């Protein structure tokens, strides 16, 4: 599938499967269990592939057992490592722990549990480890505000304080999308506009100051921040209007996104220092050039480690040639009259909301400063994935995006930038969005395979621009395929 190499989160996301629910109350003294004949069992939920685990669990628990609950964390012993899946468990908390248990379930004292009483005896040590970890979060022995019991009540009290001056009240309805001890994403309903609470931990702590800074600098292009909670790296924002781009979006919606992206980037000129101070990644050409040789060396080692016959590993000589091609493309980009601007290394349809002729961009953990056309390349990749038959749309989006740059960039430089962008975009994504130089990443079989896939993508792009990048000298015309666009 075109563009699949850009989806690191999807490529490494857990497969579908059964997740067992650890739902305690009374400070862990009791546990909600399901009756299975003469035995007891943990409640379980089927998680479809590529879905948000927290959202699926909270919805399933409510639909099946009528319990309003929210996720706390995946126990450490159940966290996959080195590409090896573990049994899936999730610790959750009921919003009303004192309500009567649903039909077919029981609040069972932990002291009465034994391996003989459980349908799956290995669940007993998993339960005990989960509750010990919950105690550690609740008592502050382990860091993470969203791993302890009762945190949602404190959060809703704080949110209500923030919106009291605005005249709104929380209704009590919410939808949890992401959950971990240091990450949280929840949509709260009010008697006015909905609100989104988001908190981030490592390695995405930078998203907090970036989101706040972008809301101040470019209020028309990002959600409005209502309040912040720095000790949690968290912020509360108003829900932006619009719908996400997807395979059903029409040409007008995609064109609006392309134009808005160019307008946002154009508006970011002169703000590089502020953006770097906020935590944006350095995607400038000179910074990318410094990473070429180290990256190629790591990829050569990963290719040597490959055990699969197909696709064949790239020989070192081909990798060295690829590195040379990347360097020449970066040098050519550096010669263009295109200034550095705000970029988004994760510019995917899920991070774009379109409403009429307005567009809002979300989730700036992968914000960067560099060549703006690189970000546009990511948008084009997703168009190709979602609307593969609409090949004529690419020219329309390209024309509307480049039109914003006409006062700064010559037609020739525009054409060269479009020819060079596919290769540079793949390289920038690889070296800035993946921990390619981390030994743990290289030892993880799934991540190593992913890095090899991205490198093969670069080689394909390098072959496509080998001739086009040097030969494109005429002005870009709508529908002109000579600009190196696949």
Tokens 């969005």 -> residue: 433
**Is domain 243-483 classified as CATH 3.30.930.10?**
no
Residue 440 pLDDT: 87
Burial profile 393-410: b = 16 or more Cβ within 10 angstroms, e = fewer: bbbbbbbbbbebbeeebe
Residue 465 pLDDT: 76
Q: Work out the widest C-alpha separation in the chain, in whole angstroms.
A: 80
- For domain 4-138, the CATH class is alpha beta
Q: What is the mean pLDDT of residues 287-308?
A: 95
Q: Does the predicted model carry a pTM greater than 0.75?
A: yes
Domain ranges across the chain? 4-138, 151-238, 243-483
User: What SS3 string covers the chain?
Assistant: CCCHHHCHHHHCCCCCEEEEEECEECCCCEEEEEEECCEEECCEEEECCCCCHHHHHHHHHHHHHCCCEEEEECCHHHCCECCECCCEEEEEEECCCCCCCCCCEEEEEHHHCCCCCECCCCHHHHHHHHHHHHHHHHCCCCCCCCCCCCHHHHHHHHHHHHHHHHCCCEEEEEEEEEECCCCEEEEEEECCCCEEEEECCCCCCCHHHHHHHHHHHCCCCCCCEEEEEHHHCEEEEECCCCEECCCCCCHHHHHHHHHHHHHHHHHCCCCHHHHHHHCCEEECHHHHHCCHHHHHHHHHHHHHHCCCCCCCCCCHHHHHHHHHHHHHHHHHHHCCCCCCEEEECCCCHHHEEEECCEEEECCCCCEEEECHHHHHHHHHHHHHHHCCCCCHHHHHHHHHHHHCCCCCCCHHHHHHHHHHHHHHHHHHHHHHHCCCCCHHHHHCHHHHHHHHHHHHHHHHHHHHHHHHHHHCCCCCCCCCHHHCCC
**Could you tell me which residue, 466 or 52, shows the higher pLDDT?**
52
- Select from 292, 356, 352, 367 the least CA-distant residue to 328: 292
Please state, in angstroms and rounded to a whole number, the distance separating the CA atoms of residues 175 and 177: 6
Tokens 């037609």 -> residue: 411
Residue 16 pLDDT: 57
Category of 175 on φ-ψ map: left (φ > 0), alpha (ψ -120 to 50) or beta: beta
Please check the confidence at residue 8 and state whether its pLDDT lies above 50: no
Q: What is the mean pLDDT of residues 240-245?
A: 94
**Cis amide bond preceding 311, omega within 30:** yes
- Select from 49, 160, 35 the least CA-distant residue to 108: 35
pLDDT digits (tens, 9 = 90+) for 209-232: 999 999 999 999 999 999 999 999
pLDDT digits (tens, 9 = 90+) for 412-439: 999 999 999 999 999 999 999 988 999 9
Residue 201 pLDDT: 95
pLDDT digits (tens, 9 = 90+) for 112-139: 999 999 999 999 999 999 999 999 999 9
Share of the chain above pLDDT 70, in %: 91
Q: What is the mean pLDDT of residues 61-75?
A: 94
**Residue 335 burial (CB count, 10 A):** 10
Please state, in angstroms and rounded to a whole number, the distance separating the CA atoms of residues 93 and 148: 9
Per the prediction, the chain carries an average pLDDT of: 90
One CATH from 3.30.750, 1.20.1070, 3.30.160, 3.30.200 for 151-238: 3.30.200
Rg, C-alpha atoms of the chain: 25
Residue 80 pLDDT: 60
In this prediction, residue 446 has a pLDDT band, given cuts at 50, 70 and 90, of confident
């Amino acid at each position: 599938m075109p563009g699949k190499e850009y989806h690191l989160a999807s490529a490494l996301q857990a497969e579908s499967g059964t997740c067992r629910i650890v739902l305690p109350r009374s400070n862990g003294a009791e546990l909600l269990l399901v009756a299975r004949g003469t035995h007891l069992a943990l409640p379980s939920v089927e998680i479809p592939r590529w879905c948000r685990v927290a959202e699926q669990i909270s919805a399933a628990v409510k639909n099946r057992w009528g319990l309003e609950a929210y996720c706390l964390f995946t126990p450490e012993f159940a966290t996959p490592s080195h590409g090896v899946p573990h049994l899936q468990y999730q610790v959750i908390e009921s919003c009303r722990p004192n309500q009567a248990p649903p039909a077919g379930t029981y609040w069972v004292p932990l002291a009465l549990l034994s391996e003989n009483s459980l349908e799956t005896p290995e669940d007993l040590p998993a339960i005990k480890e989960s509750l010990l970890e919950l105690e550690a979060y609740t008592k502050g022995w382990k860091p993470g505000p969203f791993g302890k019991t009762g945190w949602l009540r404190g959060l809703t009290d704080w949110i209500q304080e923030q919106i009291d001056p605005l005249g709104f009240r929380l209704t009590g309805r919410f939808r949890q999308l992401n959950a971990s001890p240091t990450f949280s994403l929840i949509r709260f309903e009010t008697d006015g506009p909905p609100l989104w609470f988001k908190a981030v931990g490592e390695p995405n702590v930078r998203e907090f100051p970036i989101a706040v800074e972008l809301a101040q600098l470019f209020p028309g292009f990002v959600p409005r921040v209502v309040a912040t909670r720095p000790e949690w790296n968290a912020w509360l924002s108003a829900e932006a209007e619009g719908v996400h781009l997807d395979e059903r979006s029409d040409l007008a919606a995609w064109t609006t996104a392309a134009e808005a992206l160019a307008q946002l980037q154009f508006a970011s000129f002169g703000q590089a220092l502020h953006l770097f101070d906020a935590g944006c990644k350095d995607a400038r050409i000179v910074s990318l050039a410094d990473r070429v040789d180290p990256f190629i060396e790591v990829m050569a080692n990963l290719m040597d480690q490959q055990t699969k016959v197909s696709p064949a590993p790239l020989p070192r000589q081909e990798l060295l040639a690829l590195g040379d091609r990347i360097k020449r493309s970066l040098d050519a980009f550096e010669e263009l009259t295109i200034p550095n601007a705000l970029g988004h290394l994760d510019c995917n349809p899920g991070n774009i909301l379109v409403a009429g002729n307005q567009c809002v961009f979300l989730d700036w953990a992968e914000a960067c400063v560099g060549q703006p056309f690189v970000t546009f390349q990511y948008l084009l990749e997703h168009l190709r994935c979602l609307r593969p038959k609409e090949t004529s749309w690419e020219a329309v989006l390209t024309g509307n995006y480049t039109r914003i740059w006409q006062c700064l960039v010559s037609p020739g430089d525009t054409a060269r930038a479009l020819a060079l962008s596919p290769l540079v975009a793949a390289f920038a994504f690889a070296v800035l969005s993946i921990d390619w130089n981390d030994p743990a990443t290289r030892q993880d079989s799934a991540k190593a395979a992913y890095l090899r896939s991205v490198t093969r993508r670069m080689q394909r792009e390098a072959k496509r621009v080998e001739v086009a990048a040097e030969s494109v000298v005429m002005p870009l015309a709508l529908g002109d395929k000579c600009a190196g666009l696949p």
